[in-house]
Each structure stands twice: as C-alpha cells, then as structure tokens.
C-alpha cells in the first residue's frame, strides 16, 4: 500500500529531510486552522502545495489521490451545510422545503478549504517521503525506536495480510468452497475465513518478541544510525522559521483581539 503511493522521482522535494517536510505539514495545519478564513487555505494550496507537487513531479498523483478523498467529503459538506446550516438566514435558492443559504455556503467554503489544505498537505508528504526514511529521521531526532518499529513493521505487514488472506481463500476453494457472484452473499462466505486469518497473524508473532528481546530491542541506550538521513543547516533554520511562523499565526490574532 505505502510503496504504491511513494514514487521516488529524485526531485528536490523528495531529497528534503523528512523532518523538514513534517514540520512544514504541521505548520501548514496550524496556520490554516489558526487563520480560519478560506483564503488562507487557498493561498497555502496555490502558493505552496501545488508548486511543491509540480517540482516533485507528483502533481497528477496528488490530484488523483486528493480528489478521491476530498470529493465525497466536500460534496457532503456543501450539500448538508448549504441546506441545513443552523445560522442560515439569507436564502439563495429555494426548492420546495429546501433552501440554500448564503451563511451555510460560507461555512462550507471556510471549512471545506481547510479540509482541502489538510488533505493535500498530508498526501503530498506521503507521496514524496518514504515511510522508512521518515521513521529513521524521526528516530534520529529522539523518537522512541518502539514507535518506528511498530510503524515500519505495520507497513510491511499490510501486504502480507492480503497474501495470507488469498492463501486461505485458495485453500478453502480447493476444498470446494464456491464464491458467489452477488456481493452480499460473498461477504457471508468470506466471514468464516476471517477467523483463521486473524488468529494466524496473532499466533505468528509469538516467537518474534523473544527474538527481538534476544537482539537487544528493549534496550534504551541511544544508538547511532546505520543510514544517516541527509540534513543541512539551511533546513534546520527553515524548520525553526516555519515553527515560528505557525506560532505567530496563533498568537498575533489573539493579541489583536485583546488590544
């Protein structure tokens, strides 16, 4: 699953330190939620995310994945809030008992723009960063190796989950299990296959814990990295600047309100 999203085009965006990209993502999230007008998100998407995606040569992937995630949400948001927003007064368009209100549409625009920025920024991080690199970089910055083990291990596990499911299915078919065409009855046939799948996965990890302990996994000593993730003073500075910008986005409006 993860490798399908990540394609290494070797672009400057791919070569950035993963932590820099993560700090950028978090700063963007703070900024679009701290300055909640729709144009903040619009500026972020147009001025940062789209150019970054083009530089990374992953603009099409970003549009495809982002669109697939966002389309249903934005559609529901506009319909639901457009027609039923509690503060809606100004009726723009009426159809029977349903009335589309300007306030509802404004709400949908402001909220929707934030969701678009949130989803596109996260997807851009995912399509330009190998999860393994992200984990190594975060461990170098002091993340507990337990977290990186769990995350990296899960990413490898999900495909093997599928392989095992296929194996169980084939074994059952060899014993004469017929898989019906209709999706509902197919679900009913599949349900008994879940048991061996899940139980097999859990009993498989029994020995793994002992093996990890024997190799010093539980040790809390800070170790050096086998593969150092490239970093630069410029990126270090950029990370602090982005964090400061995000903090300013929170603090400045508060101060303005108080004065």
Partner 1 sequence: MSDPIAVDPHRTRDRLLVVAGAILIAATYSYLILSQPAEIAASGTSRAGLIAMAGYLVGAVLIAAGSVRQIPTAVIAMIPVAIALNIVAGQIVSTLSLTVYLDSIGTVLVSVLAGPAAGVVTGILSNVIWGLTLTPIPLPFAVVQVVIAVLAGLAARAGVFRHVYLPPLAGVLTGFVTAMVSAPIAAFVFGGATGGSAGAIVGAFQAMGRSLLEATTLQGLLYDPLDKAITFTVVGILIAALPARFLQRFPFARTYRVFGKGPLTRTPTTSAG
Binders in 218-257 for partner 1, by CB under 8 A: 218, 220, 250, 253
What the block records as the tokens of 214 is: 């024997």
54 binds partner 1, rule: CB under 8 A: no
Closest distance to partner 1 from the beta carbon of 241 (Å): 20
Q: Quick one: 142 or 234, whose CB is closer to partner 1?
A: 142
Residues 130-169 that bind partner 1 (CB under 8 A): 131, 134, 144, 146-147, 149-151, 153-155, 157-158, 161
Among 23, 49, 100, 123, binds partner 1 (CB under 8 A): 123
CA 45/CA 3 separation, integer angstroms: 25
Q: Quick one: 54 or 149, whose CB is closer to partner 1?
A: 149
116 binds partner 1, rule: CB under 8 A: no
Helix %, strand %, coil % of the chain (to 5) = 75, 5, 20
95 binds partner 1, rule: CB under 8 A: no
107 binds partner 1, rule: CB under 8 A: yes
What the block records as the tokens of 92 is: 């723009």
φ, ψ of residue 93 in degrees (nearest 5): -155, 135
Q: Quick one: 98 or 237, whose CB is closer to partner 1?
A: 98
Picking from 15, 17, 25, the residue whose alpha carbon sits closest to that of residue 55 is 15
Are 11 and 55 in contact by the 8 Å Cβ rule? The answer is yes
Picking from 185, 226, 26, the residue whose alpha carbon sits closest to that of residue 118 is 26
CA 132/CA 229 separation, integer angstroms: 11
36 binds partner 1, rule: CB under 8 A: yes
| 170 to 209: interface string for partner 1, x by CB under 8 A | -------------------------x--xx-xxxxxx-xx
Matching residue, tokens 């950029």: 238
């Amino acid at each position: 699953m993860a490798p399908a999203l990540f394609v290494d085009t070797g672009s400057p965006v791919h070569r950035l330190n993963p932590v820099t990209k993560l700090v950028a993502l978090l700063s963007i999230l703070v900024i679009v939620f701290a300055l909640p007008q729709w144009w903040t998100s619009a500026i972020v998407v147009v001025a940062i995310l789209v150019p970054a995606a083009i530089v990374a040569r992953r603009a099409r992937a970003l549009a495809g994945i982002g669109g697939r995630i966002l389309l249903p949400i934005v559609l529901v948001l506009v319909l639901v809030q457009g027609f039923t927003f509690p503060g809606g007064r100004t009726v723009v368009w009426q159809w029977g008992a349903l009335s589309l209100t300007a306030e509802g549409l404004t709400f949908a625009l402001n909220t929707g723009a934030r969701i678009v920025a949130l989803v596109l920024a996260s997807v851009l991080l995912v399509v330009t960063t190998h999860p393994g690199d992200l984990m190594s970089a975060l461990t170098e910055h002091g993340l507990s190796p337990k977290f990186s083990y769990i995350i990296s291990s899960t990413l490898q596990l999900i495909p093997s989950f599928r392989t095992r499911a296929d194996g169980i299915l084939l074994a059952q078919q060899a014993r004469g299990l017929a898989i019906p065409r209709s999706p509902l009855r197919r679900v009913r046939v599949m349900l008994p296959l879940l048991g061996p799948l899940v139980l097999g996965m859990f009993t498989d990890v029994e020995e793994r814990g002992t093996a990890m302990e024997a190799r010093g996994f539980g040790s809390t000593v800070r170790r050096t990295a086998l593969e150092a993730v490239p970093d630069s003073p410029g990126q270090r500075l950029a990370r602090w600047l982005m964090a400061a910008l995000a903090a300013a986005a929170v603090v400045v409006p508060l101060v303005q309100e108080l004065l």
